[in-house]
A and B are shown apart, each in its own frame.
Chain A
Amino acid sequence: MRLFPRRLPLCAVVVGALLPVAPPMPAAAATHVVVIDKMKYAPVPPLKVGDTVVFLNRDMFRHTVTETKNRFNLDLMPGAKGSLTVNSAGKADFYCKYHPGMRGSMIAK
């Protein structure tokens, strides 16, 4: 699975979503919001190539979403969000660099 991180400040994500000049998404692509809270990642739903995953850090702590093979890394302050776009099928495991007991995974078909 290839994932390109698109870490954006909250305001940039909101503004970008409203601008008509934003690049068009593929018809079948979906955006999934995954909340980080109380030292846990919410489960990532099954993904398709072209989908976007937005990680929203609702926790009081700084967290990362770091792929175990270092293919992507989002460093999120409390309240921040960052997104990834799925570019190929496969599985990716990730963890928090600051709290390595926090772990999650995502699968794209």
Chain B
Amino acid sequence: MTRAALFIAAAAGALAISAPAQAAAGPTDPQIAHIAYTAGTIDVEAGKQALKMSHNATVREFAQQMVRDHQAVNAKALALVKKLKVTPEANATSASLTKAADAESAKLSKLKGADFDREYMRNEVAFHKTVNGALASTLIPSAHNAELKSLLETGLTLFKEHQAHAEQVAAKLK
């Protein structure tokens, strides 16, 4: 299962395993913070892997931007949870995201050259598409704290840019 596909399943699973009252209301703010931070960390690590493996200038430029932008969002998220005195709460969605990312990383580590570039970019498109869907449909509507919601909304604007950029780069590699 791809990282993106698993995220959908994991998001659904997280809702299903929550207490009935929470399931109806969606994930809590501490859970949302953990999911968002985990997703950002995953893409930073994927970007670092691409910078280590790829020799394609366009792919490397994209990867550098992913590392830079996602690190910036995560730094802001860390500062926010500290300010709000919220402890991000590990959950099934975050765990599934990490597990899927590890599998994708292992898959990528066996590829080289153009094969690596195509798979990295294919996954970046799928990953951002799915994260954007989750942000718009579940995470942003479920967030209660205004600052967290605002950060997620900025994140969604940013990640839509990333998705469009990834689609452009991926199309050039075909």
Which residues of A are interface residues toward B (Cβ below 8 A)? 38-39, 60-62, 78, 98-102
A38 and B152 CA atoms in complex are apart in Å by 11
| In contact, B161 and A100 (Cβ under 8 angstroms) | yes
| In contact, B69 and A61 (Cβ under 8 angstroms) | yes
| In contact, A39 and B68 (Cβ under 8 angstroms) | no
B161 in complex: contacting residue of A39, A60, A62, A78, CB < 8 Å: A39
| In contact, B154 and A39 (Cβ under 8 angstroms) | yes
A98 and B73 CA atoms in complex are apart in Å by 15
Which residues of B are interface residues toward A (Cβ below 8 A)? 65, 68-69, 72-73, 75-76, 150, 153-154, 157-158, 160-161, 164-165
Q: List 23 A-B contacts (CB under 8 A).
A: A38-B150, A38-B153, A38-B154, A38-B157, A39-B154, A39-B157, A39-B158, A60-B72, A60-B73, A60-B75, A60-B76, A60-B154, A61-B158, A62-B68, A98-B65, A98-B69, A98-B161, A100-B161, A100-B165, A101-B157, A101-B160, A101-B161, A101-B164
A99 and B165 CA atoms in complex are apart in Å by 8
| In contact, B72 and A99 (Cβ under 8 angstroms) | no
Q: Which residues of A sit under 8 angstroms from B160, Cβ to Cβ?
A: 101
Q: Nearest Cβ distance between residue A58 and chain B, in whole angstroms?
A: 12
A50 and B76 CA atoms in complex are apart in Å by 38
Q: Which residues of A sit under 8 angstroms from B65, Cβ to Cβ?
A: 98
Q: Nearest Cβ distance between residue A16 and chain B, in whole angstroms?
A: 28
A99 and B73 CA atoms in complex are apart in Å by 15
Q: Nearest Cβ distance between residue A21 and chain B, in whole angstroms?
A: 37
A102 and B161 CA atoms in complex are apart in Å by 9
Closest A residue by C-beta to B156: A39
Q: Which residues of B sit under 8 angstroms from A101, Cβ to Cβ?
A: 157, 160-161, 164
Q: Nearest Cβ distance between residue A42 and chain B, in whole angstroms?
A: 15
* Known contacts A60-B73, A60-B76; A99/B68 CB under 8 A: no
